[in-house]
């Protein structure tokens, strides 16, 4: 089912809250991640913390994929560092690359979570693809000019989101 919603299904402070235990408890076998300002600040390489996080997901049997609107020069080294599949120049919120990611991971919309920091690209693209979308707080409060203007509109939309219903809960809850 295609959802044209800009509203995320779930919200979290950080990708770190999306633990292997949380994912498995909710039936997720795969996760699609945005990179810039979701996992690291814009343009930064994969940190040891991010690399360890992806290792923990993989050890738990969770498949991962990176989708970015950025160039291959940016995305490929990051993907290699975290041992993840990737697509670059994804044209998010297009559904095409989300479908590519699921096909390459052998997952479906029902068992794949999409994690990102932007409503107009990550959340909308995931929702249009029938995925469960999870919006995280941006890693850095300052965005490049091409992104900064969108944050103004995101703040207006997020005012209408009942955050208490969308916040992640531990696997026990």
- Report the pLDDT averaged over residues 121-150: 83
Domain assignment of residue 102, yes or no: yes
Give me the pLDDT at residue 2, please: 45
Give me the pLDDT at residue 67, please: 97
What is the C-alpha to C-alpha distance for residues 36 and 46, in angstroms, rounded to an integer? 10
**Domain containing 136 — which CATH number?**
3.40.50.1000
Domain assignment of residue 65, yes or no: yes
What is the C-alpha to C-alpha distance for residues 107 and 14, in angstroms, rounded to an integer? 23
**What global pTM score does this model have?**
0.85
Domain assignment of residue 116, yes or no: yes
Instruction: Flag whether pLDDT at 165 surpasses 70.
Output: no
Domain assignment of residue 145, yes or no: yes
What is the C-alpha to C-alpha distance for residues 123 and 14, in angstroms, rounded to an integer? 15
- Contact between 28 and 68 under an 8 Å Cβ cutoff? The reply is no
Domain assignment of residue 58, yes or no: yes
Give me the pLDDT at residue 127, please: 94
Instruction: Flag whether pLDDT at 18 surpasses 60.
Output: yes
With tokens 């207006």, the residue in question is 156
Q: What is residue 29's three-state secondary structure?
A: coil
Number of structural domains (the chain) is 1
Domain assignment of residue 82, yes or no: yes
Domain assignment of residue 2, yes or no: no
C-alpha distances in Å from residue 159, one per residue of 36, 130, 141, 150: 23, 24, 18, 14
C-alpha distances in Å from residue 41, one per residue of 26, 47, 144: 28, 10, 10
pLDDT band at 32 (very low <50, low <70, confident <90, very high): very high
Give me the pLDDT at residue 152, please: 63
Report how far apart the first and last C-alpha atoms of the chain are (Å, whole number). Answer: 27
- Contact between 48 and 54 under an 8 Å Cβ cutoff? The reply is no
Domain assignment of residue 166, yes or no: no
Opening angle at CA 148, ends 4 and 74, nearest 5:
85
Q: Which domain holds residue 76?
A: 10-160
Q: Which helix (H) or strand (E) is 66 found in, with range?
A: strand 63-67
- pLDDT tens profile 39-88: 999 889 999 999 999 999 999 999 999 999 999 999 999 999 999 999 99
């Amino acid at each position: 089912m295609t959802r044209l919603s800009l509203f995320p299904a779930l919200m979290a402070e950080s990708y770190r809250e999306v633990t292997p235990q949380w994912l498995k408890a909710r039936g997720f076998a795969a996760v699609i991640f945005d990179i810039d300002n979701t996992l690291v600040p814009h343009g930064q390489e994969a940190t040891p913390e991010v690399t360890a996080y992806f290792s923990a997901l993989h050890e738990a049997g969770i498949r991962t994929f990176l989708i970015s609107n950025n160039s291959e020069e940016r995305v490929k080294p990051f993907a290699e560092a975290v041992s993840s599949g990737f697509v670059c120049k994804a044209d998010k919120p297009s559904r095409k690359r989300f479908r590519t990611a699921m096909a390459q991971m052998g997952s479906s919309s029902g068992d794949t979570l999409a994690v990102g920091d932007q409503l107009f690209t990550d959340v909308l693209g995931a929702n249009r693809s029938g995925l469960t979308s999870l919006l995280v707080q941006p890693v850095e409060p300052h965005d490049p000019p091409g992104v900064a203007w969108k944050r103004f509109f995101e703040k207006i939309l997020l005012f209408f989101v009942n955050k208490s219903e969308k916040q992640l809960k531990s696997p026990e809850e």
